[in-house]
Amino acid sequence: PISLVWLRRDLRLHDNAALYYALKSGRPVLPIFVYDRLILDQLEDRDDRRVEFIHREIQQLQAQLHQMGSTIIARYGRPIDVLKQVVEEFAVADVYTNYDYEVYAKERDAVVKAMLAERGIGFHTFKDQAIFDRDEVLTGGGKPYTVFTPYSRNWIGKLNDFYVKSYPTETYFANFVKTSALGDHDFTIPTLEEMNFRPKGESYPVPTVDDDLLQNYEEMRNIPAQPGTSELGIHLRFGTISIRDLVRQAQATSERFLTELAWRDFYFQILDHFPHVEKHAFRREYENIPFLNRAEDIERWQNGETGYPIVDAGMRQLNETGWMHNRVRLVVASFCVKHLLIDWRIGEAYFARKLRDYDLAANNGNWQWIAGTGNDAAPYFRVFNPAEQARKFDPKGIYIRRWVPEFDSLRYPQPIVDHPMARQRAIDTYKKALNR
């Protein structure tokens, strides 16, 4: 019998916890990837960047495995159906996989685990995408943290070699199953077209970051006109870089960057412990804010036509590249929720559709932070002034001009709302809803 390693958001052979334990167990190991049609069929854009990225990565894994005389099995369908089919096709003793903190993923895994148990097949999960998860970083009272600063202090304090060393998968690469031993099966990777997608043909950031960039990160990270951040988001999302390798690099170069990686773990554990945040305000009293959700406002915000140059620049960068600078994400999200009184969930969903580094935990956590509905959130009366943000972080208008070249011409729209009016309206709306 063989072991399957079910890859999901850990698309690499290097330093992969589940893969390591599977290989080490001694049985021949066959990696499997499922193009989950429950997720893929729902995506709005048929040229979705993430799907193309995954597709390329799976092809690369296939090429790497071919060189070792092995293969990956990649199929399109519902995970439960595909796994059922695969364990009927092959003699499988165990399935190894890395733990996922999303509600959908946890439910999916529970169903798969039960199906496997009925057949006497083991299902083993491992921590891989986070440095600390579940109950590894708790308050003095043994509770999950809901405030970031003490969490991050504790997170950084607990870091030691044990948590950041790589799993030496390479030592056991000889244990990948030999394709020749498997007989006749279908190992072709479904094409994008077969899954009803078409390629965008874009290139993606490289899965590495220079020490130089990290050494200057603290100083450069807030300047959207400069390439001062790592742009590793998409690689962290799909596991095409190892978080442990990255944390070790950060320990040697930039405490500030390390703290950003702690934010990532923070939101994973929030989602894991408080799954209601996926659809609801973390703080229930914020559930009933009477958002306006005007269709025209939503459309102008999405298209980058609000008449606020920094907001429009950000939204156009997002639409054209699938990425937006963090400083600008803060500004456009605040503008969406506060200035236009659009429900944070609508903004969140648009980011989910467009961001190449989209991650449910981080996206939800950051939107709730901005909306003031989250755990450790900005107080609701704090409303970013977009013009001031632009003056401070893009003083020469370089970023704005790059994305909104017509911003100082007559063609450029008048501001969609007046800032002082919108600010007061947001504060009044929140205050009234909270005092009810």
Nearer to ligand FAD, 185 or 392 (CB): 392
Nearer to ligand FAD, 79 or 314 (CB): 314
Residue among 287, 274, 290 at smallest CA distance from 375:
274
Q: Is 263 known to sit in a ligand binding site?
A: yes
Residue among 239, 262, 249, 251 at smallest CA distance from 126:
239
CA distance 426 to 119: 56
Joined tokens for residue 154: 């504790």
Question: Which residues in this chain contact ligand FAD in the complex, by CB under 6 A?
Answer: 221, 229-233, 236, 260-261, 263-264, 267, 326, 329-330, 333, 351, 355, 357-359, 362-363, 366-367, 370
Q: Is 282 known to sit in a ligand binding site?
A: no
CA distance 314 to 330: 10
Nearer to ligand FAD, 75 or 221 (CB): 221
Q: Is 318 known to sit in a ligand binding site?
A: no
Q: Is 257 known to sit in a ligand binding site?
A: yes
What's the min distance (Å) between Cβ of 204 and ligand FAD?
12
Chain centre distance of CA 409 = 37
Q: Is 217 known to sit in a ligand binding site?
A: yes
CA distance 155 to 137: 6
What's the min distance (Å) between Cβ of 350 and ligand FAD?
10
Q: Is 94 known to sit in a ligand binding site?
A: no
CA distance 8 to 359: 13
What's the min distance (Å) between Cβ of 366 and ligand FAD?
3
Nearer to ligand FAD, 123 or 335 (CB): 335
As beta bridge partners, residue 92 has 2
Nearer to ligand FAD, 96 or 350 (CB): 350
What's the min distance (Å) between Cβ of 37 and ligand FAD?
22
CA distance 135 to 128: 15
What's the min distance (Å) between Cβ of 25 and ligand FAD?
31
Beta pairing, strands 92-98 & 122-126 = parallel
Q: At 110, which helix (H) or strand (E)?
A: helix 103-118
Sequence ranges of the binding site: 217, 257, 260-267, 357-359
Sequence ranges of the binding site for FAD: 217, 257, 260-267, 357-359
